[in-house]
Amino acid sequence: MLSRYLPILRWVPSYDREAFSSDVIAAIIVTIMLIPQSLAYALLAGLPPEVGLYASIAPLVLYTIFGTSMTLAVGPVAVASLMTASAVGELTAQGTPEYLGAAIALAFLSGLMLIVMGVARLGFLANFLSHPVISGFITASALIIAFGQLKHILGIDVHGHNLIEQVESLVAGLSGANIPTMVIGGAAIAFLVWSRRFLTPLLRKLGVAPKLASSLSKAAPVLAVIATTLAVWGLGLQAQGIAIVGDVPKGLPTPALPTVDVELWKSLLLPALMIGVIGYVETISVAQTLAAKRRERIDPDQELIALGAANVGSSFSGGFPVTGGFSRSVVNFDAGARTPGAGALTAIGIALATLFLTPLLFNLPKATLAATIIVAVLSLVDLDAIRRTWVYSRSDFAAMLGTIIGTLLFGVEIGIAIGVISSLALFLGRTSRPHVAIVGRVPGSEHYRNINRHKVETTPGVLSIRVDESLYFPNARFLEDTINDAVAQDNTIRHVVLMCPAVNSIDASALESLEQINLRLRDAGILLHLSEVKGPVMDRLKRTDFLEHLSGQIFLSQYEADQTLKAQLAAA
The CB-side HSE value for 357 (13 A sphere, CA atoms) comes to 19
Tell me the helix, strand and coil percentages in the chain, rounded to 5: 65, 5, 25
CB atoms within 10 A of CB 350: 25
Cα separation, 549 vs 554, whole angstroms: 12
What pTM value is reported for the model?
Answer: 0.82
- Domain boundaries along the sequence of the chain: 18-382, 436-571
What burial class does residue 466 get, using C-beta atoms within 10 Å of its C-beta: 0-12 exposed, 13-18 middle, 19+ buried? buried
pLDDT at 211 over 90: no
Q: Identify the pLDDT of residue 161.
A: 66
Tell me which of 3.30.750.24, 3.40.50.10800, 2.60.40.10, 3.20.20.70 is the CATH number of domain 436-571.
Answer: 3.30.750.24
Confidence of residue 383 (pLDDT cuts 50, 70, 90): confident
- Contacts of residues 227-235 at CB distance under 8 Å and 24 or more positions apart, as own/partner, are 227/191, 228/184, 228/187, 228/188, 228/364, 228/365, 228/367, 228/368, 229/360, 229/361, 229/363, 229/364, 229/365, 229/368, 231/184, 232/184, 232/363, 232/364, 232/365, 233/363
Cα separation, 296 vs 302, whole angstroms: 15
Confidence of residue 494 (pLDDT cuts 50, 70, 90): very high
Report whether 529 contacts 558 (CB < 8 A). Answer: no
pLDDT tens column, 436-484 = 999 999 999 999 999 999 999 999 999 999 999 999 999 999 999 999 9
Indicate the Cα dihedral angle 18, 19, 20, 25, nearest 10°: 90
Would you give the end-to-end CA distance of the chain in angstroms? 64
Amino acid at 384: D
Give the mean model confidence (pLDDT) for residues 505-528.
95
- Which residues make Cβ contacts (< 8 Å) with residue 346, sequence separation at least 6? 27, 30, 31, 34, 56, 60, 73
pLDDT tens column, 217-239 = 877 888 999 999 999 999 998 88
Q: Are strands 436-441 and 527-531 parallel, antiparallel or unpaired?
A: unpaired
Confidence of residue 123 (pLDDT cuts 50, 70, 90): confident
E strand spans, 293-447: 323-324, 436-441
pLDDT tens column, 248-285 = 888 888 888 888 888 999 999 999 999 998 899 888 88
What burial class does residue 113 get, using C-beta atoms within 10 Å of its C-beta: 0-12 exposed, 13-18 middle, 19+ buried? buried
pLDDT tens column, 70-97 = 999 999 999 999 999 989 988 898 889 9
Q: Identify the pLDDT of residue 411.
A: 82
Confidence of residue 68 (pLDDT cuts 50, 70, 90): very high
Confidence of residue 326 (pLDDT cuts 50, 70, 90): confident
Is the pLDDT higher at 401 or at 214?
401
Cα separation, 408 vs 429, whole angstroms: 26
Stretch among 212-216, 227-231, 331-335 having the lowest mean pLDDT: 212-216
Stretch among 1-5, 25-29, 38-42, 124-128 having the lowest mean pLDDT: 124-128
Q: What percent of the chain has pLDDT over 70?
A: 99
Stretch among 128-142, 307-321, 355-369, 379-393 having the lowest mean pLDDT: 128-142
Give the mean model confidence (pLDDT) for residues 294-303.
89
